[in-house]
Amino acid sequence: MIIVLIGYMASGKTSIGKKLAKKLSYNFLDLDDFIEEKENMSVTDVFKQKGEIYFRKQEAYHLKSILKSENNTILSVGGGTPCYSGNMDLILETEKAECIYLKASLKTLVNKLMKKKATRPLIAHVETEEEMTEFIGKHLFERAQFYNQAEIKVSIDNKTKDEVVEDIVLKLF
Ligand SMILES: Nc1ncnc2c1ncn2[C@@H]1O[C@H](COP(=O)(O)OP(=O)(O)OP(=O)(O)O)[C@@H](O)[C@H]1O
Ligand SMILES: O=C(O)C1=C[C@@H](O)[C@@H](O)[C@H](O)C1
Ligand SMILES: [Mg+2]
């Protein structure tokens, strides 16, 4: 099985994915990290130097190959992965893959992203909390149609990472 974690930026895909992999003794892969290794530069630099369209092409290419070749793996994808290139359809069509949406409220996301926006190229330019709320609100509205197709949804609001992992395990098995 491949467990695919999806969700907005800062919803915890990477950190919860690592914990879940440890708990289930699965391998762990993070699609952003994978692309950074292949490109030998940060996601921010890929966006800056090669552009978002190049990034989206690489993202779709590596997602496809990982879904084909891996097993017993937790795969944390990028925040935008399900929303481009037919990626969500591919994840849902892949029989060995189970997709989990780490769902966060707008308030939770704004709080988290105001603290850590520098490394996230799509929101690095947003300055005030009000602007961040407006930006993420619109963005989530567009993306929710993809995220909500996940087979399993887990709320992360007001939960520790370990509690989120527990919830995922309960819903999976
Ligand atoms: N349930 C939680 N409680 C407290 N902090 C959390 C929780 N989940 C994640 N975090 C923290 O929030 C930050 C964002 O988490 P993480 O990097 O795992 O998100 P992500 O979904 O992978 O983001 P991106 O899409 O930008 O890669 C990290 O600093 C992480 O430690
Ligand atoms: O939400 C997005 O579109 C993104 C999220 C990050 O995980 C990275 O994949 C990149 O910064 C784009
Ligand atoms: Mg991540």
Q: Report domain extents, the chain.
A: 2-154
Check pLDDT > 90 for residue 63. yes
Residue 78 beta carbon below 6 angstroms from any ligand 2 atom: yes
Helix/strand/coil for 64: helix
Check pLDDT > 90 for residue 100. yes
- Ligand that comes closest to the CA of residue 155: 1
- Ligand that comes closest to the CA of residue 124: 2
Residue 121 beta carbon below 6 angstroms from any ligand 2 atom: yes
**Residue-level pLDDT at 116:** 86
Instruction: Tell me the CATH number of domain 2-154, given options 3.30.70.260, 3.40.390.10, 3.40.50.2000, 3.40.50.300.
Output: 3.40.50.300
Question: How crowded is residue 118: how many other Cβ atoms within 10 Å of its Cβ?
Answer: 9
Ligand 2 pocket: which of 122, 132, 135, 139 to mutate (most atoms within 8 A of CB):
122
Q: Confirm if 104 and 158 have CB atoms less than 8 A apart.
A: no
CA atoms of 80 and 59, how far apart (whole Å): 9
Q: What is the H or E stretch that residue 75 is in?
A: strand 73-76
| CA 168 to ligand 1 centroid distance, Å | 16
Q: Degrees (nearest 5) of the Cα angle 124, 129, 133?
A: 85
Q: What is the pLDDT of residues 67-92, one digit of tens each?
A: 999 999 999 999 999 999 999 999 99
- Ligand that comes closest to the CA of residue 163: 1
Question: How crowded is residue 11: how many other Cβ atoms within 10 Å of its Cβ?
Answer: 24
Annotated ligand binding at 10? The verdict is: yes
Q: What percent of the chain has pLDDT above 90?
A: 97
Check pLDDT > 90 for residue 118. no
Check pLDDT > 90 for residue 13. yes
Q: What is the H or E stretch that residue 63 is in?
A: helix 52-69
The ipTM, to two decimals, is 0.92
Annotated ligand binding at 76? The verdict is: no
β-bridge pairing 73-76 and 27-30:
parallel
**In angstroms, what CA-CA distances link 157 with 15, 102, 110, 160, 164?**
15, 10, 12, 9, 9
Q: Confirm if 62 and 34 have CB atoms less than 8 A apart.
A: yes
Annotated ligand binding at 79? The verdict is: yes
